[in-house]
């Protein structure tokens, strides 16, 4: 199956009207401000080298890396959206919602990020406690060493700690056995409700986007229910393509987004060099009637190159 690579659109030019003609765009990227590996500036340098012209830095529950990324984007002539991938729950299922913030963060929104940071701290203590039962002694300190900073801890930090402790051979196995959905280390009870998080985004003048909807293990019917609840709360978009996806599933997802009238977004969900996907590499979006997220009125300046 093919993966779409970027070409070299002219910086500052208007973005296309169709998702299947999008190039040089990645609206889901992570730096070491959360669970990515690269510093925000280094991440932007890599994006520039790959020909990207429009980005959103979407670190988990934080905007800490945006200022550094913006300075580097200005040097390269890249357009950047302030953004964050926010953690929440719907019907007991952990859901991620990307906040695209064309106006930047309001003081009220930054206060809500602190709510999520505290939820992450509480969650990390609970994950560490649970993993002690399978032999990860002093798990909180081990995960902190893997993170290499004082940022809020996430499951990838505990996955790395399990690998270093010799309890699993690699991070993929750590998630499969202990940290994936429904496993011992999958703690989600501390996240706010999806409806609340969507409200935070709207109050900040932002656009709420359901991240990677095909990754939650839902039936098509349950995704319909998720989308309906999301729209009722004020959500307006979902990621049509997130990294590498089955083309049939992506085509069917496009039909769902079109039915619900949701805008479509896309991104690599890049975390570290050397993985399967680099910035800007995604499965090809199918031809569809789904409107690109950059055609949302709030994102006009970002899309037009004005």
> Averaged over 79-100, what is the pLDDT?
96
Please tell me the least confidently modeled range out of 58-62, 146-150, 190-194, 245-249.
146-150
Does residue 153 surpass a pLDDT of 50? yes
Give the pLDDT band (50/70/90) at residue 148: confident
pLDDT score, position 43: 98
Does residue 8 surpass a pLDDT of 60? no
pLDDT score, position 275: 78
- The position carrying tokens 């499951």 is 155
Where are the strands (E) in 61-109, listed by range? 79-90, 93-101
Give the pLDDT band (50/70/90) at residue 306: low
Mind listing the pLDDT tens digit for each residue in 242-299? 999 999 999 999 999 999 999 999 999 999 898 788 999 999 999 999 999 999 999 9
> Averaged over 113-139, what is the pLDDT?
93
Does residue 45 surpass a pLDDT of 70? yes
pLDDT score, position 104: 94
Q: How far is CA 158 from CA 58, 65, 191, 266, in A?
A: 21, 22, 18, 28
- The DSSP call for residue 129 is H
- The position carrying tokens 């994102």 is 299
Q: Mean pLDDT of all residues in the chain?
A: 92
List the 263-267 sheet strands across, edge first: 25-29, 54-57, 79-90, 93-101, 207-210, 237-242, 263-267
Does residue 3 surpass a pLDDT of 60? no
pLDDT score, position 304: 84
Give the pLDDT band (50/70/90) at residue 13: low
pLDDT score, position 4: 40
pLDDT score, position 73: 97
pLDDT score, position 124: 92
Q: Give 304 or 230, the one with higher predicted confidence.
A: 230
Query: What percentage of residues in the chain have a pLDDT greater than 90?
Result: 82
Q: Phi and psi dihedrals of 273, rounded to 5?
A: -65, 150
Token output for 225: 């229910």
Mind listing the pLDDT tens digit for each residue in 106-117? 999 999 999 998
Is the Cβ–Cβ distance between 93 and 85 less than 8 Å? no
Give the pLDDT band (50/70/90) at residue 167: very high
């Amino acid at each position: 199956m093919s993966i779409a690579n970027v070409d070299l659109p002219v910086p500052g030019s208007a973005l296309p009207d169709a998702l299947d003609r999008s190039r040089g765009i990645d609206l889901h990227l992570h730096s070491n401000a959360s669970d990515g590996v690269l510093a925000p500036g280094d991440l932007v340098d890599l994006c520039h080298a790959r020909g990207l012209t429009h980005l959103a830095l979407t670190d988990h529950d934080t905007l800490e890396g945006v200022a550094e990324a913006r300075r580097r984007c200005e040097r390269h002539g890249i357009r950047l959206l302030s953004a964050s991938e926010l953690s929440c729950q719907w019907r007991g299922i952990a859901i991620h919602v990307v906040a695209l913030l064309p106006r930047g963060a309001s003081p009220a929104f930054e206060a809500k990020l602190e709510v999520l940071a505290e939820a992450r701290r509480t969650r990390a203590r609970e994950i560490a406690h649970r993993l002690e039962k399978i032999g990860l002694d002093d798990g909180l300190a081990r995960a902190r060493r893997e993170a290499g900073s004082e940022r809020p801890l996430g499951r990838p930090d505990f996955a790395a700690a399990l690998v270093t402790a010799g309890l699993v051979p690699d991070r993929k196995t750590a998630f499969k056995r202990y940290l994936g959905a429904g496993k011992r280390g999958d703690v989600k009870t501390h996240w706010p409700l999806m409806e609340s998080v969507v409200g935070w985004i709207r109050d900040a003048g932002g656009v709420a986007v359901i991240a990677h909807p095909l990754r939650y293990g839902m039936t098509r019917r349950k995704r319909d229910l998720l989308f309906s609840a999301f729209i009722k709360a004020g959500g307006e978009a979902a990621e049509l393509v997130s990294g590498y996806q089955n083309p049939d599933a992506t085509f069917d997802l496009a039909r769902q987004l079109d039915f619900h009238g949701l805008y479509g977004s896309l991104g690599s969900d890049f975390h570290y060099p050397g993985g399967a996907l680099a910035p800007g590499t995604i499965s090809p979006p199918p031809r569809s009637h789904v409107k690109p997220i950059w055609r949302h009125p709030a994102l006009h300046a970002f899309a037009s190159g004005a």
